[in-house]
């Protein structure tokens, strides 16, 4: 009974929205839009919006809601660790047909601050190139690029992780297949070769 009452109230909200000053051209075209959220609330916004789409039966206008993420390799305790990171923190992507009703449902979702665009009442859809790029990153098609080693033998680098953190040294060897480098580090007045993951060093 409470669900039915809540649903009726939300439907009334949407109907009332058509009387507001927000006028959006009904193009009837399906596009991806970027929605700005409070930082750290991207997943909550996606969850809230999906619930609103279900309760308001807006599946014919709002199709997909995603928080773009990609897998990255980070170093922890000298070892590679795969983690997922948001590609654009503070944003949620929505695949939808823009109309007064769909605009209202998205814009009035808790923790949403507005659509991306020159005018918040007339959002600008993402280009096909932007969408394809984001989706390819999410699928991991760009993953192999993360393992490329951009250093050269003889280059001066600084160690940013592990027991030699803060030391500077010259690269003496590069193993591109394993993603590792050997660095000559001055220890007790002598150059000592240490082997590191390529993510444990950075250019000085």
Are 187 and 126 in a shared domain? no
Return the closest-CA partner of residue 23 out of 147, 116, 94, 122: 122
Quick one: 157 and 63 in the same domain? no
20 has pLDDT over 70: no
Asked if 157 and 142 sit in the same domain, the reply is no
Last residue in a domain, options 146, 163, 190: 146
Q: What percent of the chain has pLDDT over 90?
A: 56
Encoding tokens for residue 34? Answer: 């970027």
Q: Confidence class of residue 73 from pLDDT cuts 50, 70 and 90? A: confident
Question: Do 129 and 156 fall into the same domain?
Answer: no
Q: What is the CATH number of the domain that holds 193?
A: 2.30.30.30
pLDDT at 84: 86
Instruction: Please identify, among 146, 161, 193, the residue that sits at the C-terminal boundary of a domain.
Output: 146
Domain coverage including residue 92: 2-146
Please provide the DSSP assignment of 77-101 as one string: TTEEEEEEEESSTTEEEEEEE--HH
**Most confident option among 23-27, 49-53, 158-162:** 49-53
- 146, 174, 189: which is the final residue of a domain? 146
62 CB-contact burial (10 Å; exposed 0-12 / middle 13-18 / buried 19+): buried
130 with 162, same domain: the answer is: no
Same domain for 156 and 188, yes or no, is yes
Quick check: 8 pLDDT over 60? no
CATH number at residue 31: 3.30.70.940
**CA-to-CA dists, residue 90 to 45, 81, 87, 170, angstroms:** 10, 24, 9, 39
Within this chain, do residues 156 and 191 fall inside the same structural domain, yes or no?
Answer: yes
Residues 41 and 120 in one domain: yes
Range scoring the smallest mean pLDDT among 19-33, 105-119, 146-160, 162-176: 19-33
d(CA 148, CA 174): 11
Percent of the chain, pLDDT > 70? Answer: 79
Look at residues 147, 157, 150 and name the one whose alpha carbon lies nearest to residue 184.
Answer: 157
In this predicted structure, what is the pLDDT of residue 76? 61
Give how many domains the chain has, as a whole number. Answer: 2
- Residue 67 and residue 101 in one domain: yes
Whether 114 and 22 share a structural domain:
yes
Distance CA(63)–CA(124), nearest Å, equals 17
67 and 157 belong to one structural domain: no
Q: What is the C-alpha to C-alpha distance for residues 124 and 132, in angstroms, rounded to an integer?
A: 17
Say if residues 130 and 100 touch (Cβ distance below 8 Å): no
The band of 21, judged by pLDDT with boundaries at 50, 70 and 90, is very low
Residues 82 and 7 in one domain: yes
The DSSP code for 40 is T
């Amino acid at each position: 009974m409470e669900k039915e009452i809540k649903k009726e109230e939300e439907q009334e909200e949407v109907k009332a929205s058509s009387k507001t000053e927000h006028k959006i051209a009904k193009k009837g075209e399906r596009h991806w839009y970027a929605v700005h959220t409070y930082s750290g609330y991207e997943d909550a916004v996606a969850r809230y919006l999906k619930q609103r789409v279900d309760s308001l039966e807006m599946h014919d206008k709002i199709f997909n809601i995603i928080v773009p993420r990609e897998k990255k390799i980070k170093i922890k305790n000298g070892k590679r660790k795969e983690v997922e990171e948001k590609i654009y923190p503070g944003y949620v992507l929505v695949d939808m047909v823009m109309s007064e009703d769909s605009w209202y449902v998205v814009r009035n979702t808790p923790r949403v601050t507005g659509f991306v665009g020159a005018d918040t009442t007339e959002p600008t859809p993402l280009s096909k190139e932007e969408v394809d790029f984001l989706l390819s990153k999410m699928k991991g098609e760009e993953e192999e690029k993360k393992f490329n080693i951009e250093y050269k033998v003889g280059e001066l680098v600084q160690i940013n992780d592990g027991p030699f953190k803060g030391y500077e040294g010259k690269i003496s060897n590069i193993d591109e297949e394993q993603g590792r480098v050997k660095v000559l580090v001055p220890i007790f007045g002598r150059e000592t070769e240490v082997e590191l993951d390529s993510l444990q060093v950075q250019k000085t």
